[in-house]
Structures are given as structure tokens and as C-alpha cells.
């Protein structure tokens, strides 16, 4: 049977989502390896967990989705409680349930929704989820430039090159900035698309940060898409990024 669940985790405690092997040996503690360890103890058999998104080291999630296959049935509420009791305190699972055999956490997903939070000034409470960028930003220019990302584009220039022949075309349906309520200095990007490449969100937010602080003029997104821009750019750090939801 195939089962799926959602999970939440603090990325600062892990070296990303994806298992990392060297000579067949697990190198780092990742979300995937930690959950597979907890399920192994609870189930007394090994499973392979597949996630909807391979978040980088330091990137967080509230709405990651994953699936696994298992011989036989399980009591989902009991298993969910057991896994949460066994696993690292920086990760938990929710809504464990059976799903159709053709469901795939990654390939069945229609969209991913991220939030990125940054603040020009110092932050204490919740600072592990915020990029303290220490610049006064022109939010009007940033919002206007963000619209250049909307629609279907080849985002190869906004990612870490894979050279694997796979498509680098993505469709962005939302890229919106808002001040966080009651904290007017804290800014949050809402970013939604059908798929995202390796470090794509951080590359996009970093470029908008450069526009907001006056390093680049508006129109730089179009220049990068066309291949006209070759300069150095800022890559936003991982701690401000949260995978909020995956849509199916």
C-alpha cells in the first residue's frame, strides 16, 4: 500500500531534505534520513520516503508532502504518534493516510507555495526564520520588478546548473510582497509556481534585494532572462525560506 503525509521541520537542524550518500554511507543528517529512521523503529521494516520538494540545508517547511510504500496496512493515527515521539524534535509529521498507488508526492504536485521573510533591521523573536538583511529597501521597486518573474520562463540563470538535460522552464503564478502584520519592518514574499529549480527562490529573492537596495536598476530580470546580464548577484540565505504548501 502507498501512504502519504505532510511534515513540518526546522531546516537549521538538517542538511536539507534529501538523503546524502558517500560510498553508500549516509554523510549528513537530513529530514528524509531522520524520518526513515523513525519509521524503521516504529514499523520494524525499512521504507523509502519520497518528498515533494528537495529543500536545501537551512530551508524550512510547514507543508512538505511525502509518500512511501509498505507491505500491509497500518493504524495511521497510532503510527503518526509513534513516529513523532521517536524522531528529532525539529521535525513532525501530520495527516498520515493511505493514498492511491499512482499518487507521487513529487510528480503529482501541480504547484508549490513558498514564503520568504526578510527584515532590514535586527530581529530577536523568530530570527531563525528571517533574513536580517541590514539594508533600507525600496519595496515599491522590488514589487514592480517581481512581476517580471510571473508567467512561463526558462529559469536556468536563476538556479544551480544541473547539466542533466532536464527542462529548466517553470511557471510562476504569484510573486507578491507584503509587510508582516504588527511588524512593519518585516517583509514577506509569497511565491507560487508549478515547480522550482535548485536554489531558484533564493536567487530570485536575492536579485530583488539587490534592486531594492539600489545595486541594480529595474529591468534586470529581463536582462538576465535574455542573457544580456553577466554580473555578480546576491543569493538570499536559506533561513528566510519556508515551503508552506504543495498543491495537487
Task: Give the CATH number for residue 8.
Answer: 3.30.70.580
Strands 2-9 and 91-99: antiparallel
Model pLDDT, residue 85:
97
Same domain, 186 and 95: no
164 catalytic residue (yes or no): no
Same domain, 16 and 133: no
Conformational region of residue 18, where left means phi above 0, alpha means psi within -120 to 50, and beta covers everything else: beta
Domain membership flag for residue 105 = no
Kindly report the CATH number assigned to the domain that includes residue 146: 3.30.70.660
Query: Residue 183: is its pLDDT beyond 80?
Result: no
Same domain, 115 and 157: yes
Q: Domain total for the chain?
A: 2
Distance between the two ends of the chain, CA-based, in angstroms?
A: 20
Rounded-to-integer distance, Cα 118 and Cα 124, Å? 13
Contact 190, 175 (CB under 8 A): yes
Contact 248, 109 (CB under 8 A): yes
Same domain, 127 and 95: no
Same domain, 83 and 143: no
Rounded-to-integer distance, Cα 22 and Cα 70, Å? 26
Query: Residue 181: is its pLDDT beyond 90?
Result: no
Same domain, 229 and 126: yes
Write down the mean pLDDT value for the chain.
92
How many CB atoms are closer than 10 A to CB 140? 10
Rounded-to-integer distance, Cα 107 and Cα 103, Å? 8
Same domain, 7 and 56: yes
Is-above-0.85 flag for pTM? Answer: yes
pLDDT digits (tens, 9 = 90+) for 129-175: 999 988 889 999 999 999 999 999 999 999 987 777 789 999 999 99
Among 46, 66, 99, the domain-final residue is 99
User: Which one has a higher pLDDT value, 6 or 26?
Assistant: 6
Would you state the torsion angle of the CA atoms of residues 145, 151, 157, 159, taken in this order, to the nearest 10 degrees?
100
Same domain, 139 and 203: yes
Same domain, 134 and 14: no
pLDDT digits (tens, 9 = 90+) for 101-140: 999 999 999 999 999 999 888 888 888 899 998 888 999 9
> What residue numbers bound the domain in which 196 lies?
111-247
Contact 170, 160 (CB under 8 A): no
Rounded-to-integer distance, Cα 240 and Cα 115, Å? 8
Domain membership flag for residue 155 = yes
Query: Residue 6's beta-bridge partner residues?
Result: 65, 94
Contact 239, 131 (CB under 8 A): yes
Amino acid at each position: 500500500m502507498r501512504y502519504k503525509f505532510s511534515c513540518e521541520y526546522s531546516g537549521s537542524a538538517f542538511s536539507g531534505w534529501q538523503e546524502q550518500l558517500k560510498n553508500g554511507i549516509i554523510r549528513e543528517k537530513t529530514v528524509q534520513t531522520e524520518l526513515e529512521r523513525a519509521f524503521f523503529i516504529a514499523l520494524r521494516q525499512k521504507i523509502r520516503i519520497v518528498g515533494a520538494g528537495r529543500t536545501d540545508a537551512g530551508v524550512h517547511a510547514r507543508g512538505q508532502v511525502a509518500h512511501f510504500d509498505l507491505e500491509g496496512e497500518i493504524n495511521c493515527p497510532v503510527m503518526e504518534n509513534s513516529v513523532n515521539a521517536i524522531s528529532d524534535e525539529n521535525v513532525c509529521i501530520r495527516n498520515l493516510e493511505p493514498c492511491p498507488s499512482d499518487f507521487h508526492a513529487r510528480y503529482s504536485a501541480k504547484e508549490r507555495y513558498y514564503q520568504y521573510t526578510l527584515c532590514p533591521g535586527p530581529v530577536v523573536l523568530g530570527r531563525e526564520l528571517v533574513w536580517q538583511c541590514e539594508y533600507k529597501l525600496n519595496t515599491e521597486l522590488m514589487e514592480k520588478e517581481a512581476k517580471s518573474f510571473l508567467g512561463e520562463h526558462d529559469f536556468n540563470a536563476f538556479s544551480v546548473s544541473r547539466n542533466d538535460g532536464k527542462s529548466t522552464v517553470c511557471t510562476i503564478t504569484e510573486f507578491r510582497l507584503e509587510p508582516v502584520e504588527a511588524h512593519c519592518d518585516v517583509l514577506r514574499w509569497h511565491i507560487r509556481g508549478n515547480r522550482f529549480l535548485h536554489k531558484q527562490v533564493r536567487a530570485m529573492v536575492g536579485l530583488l534585494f539587490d534592486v531594492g537596495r539600489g545595486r541594480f536598476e529595474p529591468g534586470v530580470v529581463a536582462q538576465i532572462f535574455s542573457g544580456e546580464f553577466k554580473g555578480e548577484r546576491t543569493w538570499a540565505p536559506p533561513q528566510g525560506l519556508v515551503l508552506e504548501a504543495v498543491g495537487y
